[in-house]
Amino acid sequence: MKKILILNGSPRKNGATASLIKAFSDGAYESGNEIREDYIHGMEVKNCIGCDSCMKTHGGCVQKDEGMAKIYDDLAWCDVIVFASPVFFGNMTAQLKAVIDRMWAWFNLPGNFGIKKECVLIMTSRGEDYSLALTQYGIYQMLGWTDLGHILGAGKEEEARQLGASIL
């Protein structure tokens, strides 16, 4: 059993991304996994201000926002992180990108940088170009994480369910 954190960067609660997340979650749950979903659009998450305090003091982020505090707790809890977002202007949404930027402070806490996670990318788009988003997702390589797969495109619920079910 794995603990799966879904970081939902879509501003639409009932859109195509939500449909893929539900299918993925159903499959993962059927395989005995535990799932938490953070719907970022409804959370207080400030943008990174690039102050480098987290690197200098290793004391976490100087910004104290409720949403990011919950996400930090969920990062510590999970084994697998699912980055889910529609494509906005060629990339992940600003909501998800803000969380990714703020994750830097969590990694700078003592003992966190070397933590290995597994990850998944779920994205939807009106087009077919996911190249910028895939480049952003490439942070998993920098962190030494394992990519478990990705679903790119609306209407791929069965593929998403199977990917979720494959996580053991």
Q: What is the pLDDT of residues 15-42, one digit of tens each?
A: 999 999 999 999 999 999 999 999 999 9
Please report which confidence band the pLDDT of residue 113 belongs to, taking 50, 70 and 90 as the band edges: confident
Instruction: Provide the residue ranges of all domains of the chain, joining segments of one domain with +.
Output: 3-165
Q: Average pLDDT in the 124-144 region? A: 93
In this structure, which amino acid lies at residue 40? I
Q: Which helix (H) or strand (E) covers residue 72, if one does?
A: helix 66-77
Q: Which CATH superfamily is domain 3-165 in?
A: Flavodoxin domain (3.40.50.360)
Is the predicted pLDDT of residue 118 greater than 90, yes or no? Answer: yes
Q: Over the stretch 57-103, which tens digit does the pLDDT of each residue have? A: 998 999 999 999 999 999 999 999 999 999 999 999 999 999 999 99
Q: Average pLDDT in the 145-163 region? A: 97
123 Rama sector, left if φ>0, alpha if ψ -120 to 50, beta otherwise = beta
pTM: 0.96
How many CA atoms does the CB half-sphere of 118 hold within 13 Å? 13
Q: Which helix (H) or strand (E) covers residue 29, if one does?
A: helix 16-30
Strands (E), 101-156: 118-124, 146-152
**94-107 vs 66-77: helix axis angle to the nearest 10?**
60
CB 87 within 8 A of CB 133: yes
Closest CA to 41 of 121, 95, 82, 83: 95
How many CA atoms does the CB half-sphere of 15 hold within 13 Å? 19
Q: What percent of the chain has pLDDT over 90?
A: 93
Is the predicted pLDDT of residue 114 greater than 90, yes or no? Answer: no
Q: What percent of the chain has pLDDT over 70?
A: 100
Q: Average pLDDT in the 2-9 region? A: 98
In this structure, which amino acid lies at residue 165? A
CA 24 → CA 17, 47, 52, 126, 158, distances in Å? 11, 28, 36, 20, 8
Please report which confidence band the pLDDT of residue 138 belongs to, taking 50, 70 and 90 as the band edges: very high
CB 7 within 8 A of CB 38: yes
Q: Average pLDDT in the 134-146 region? A: 93
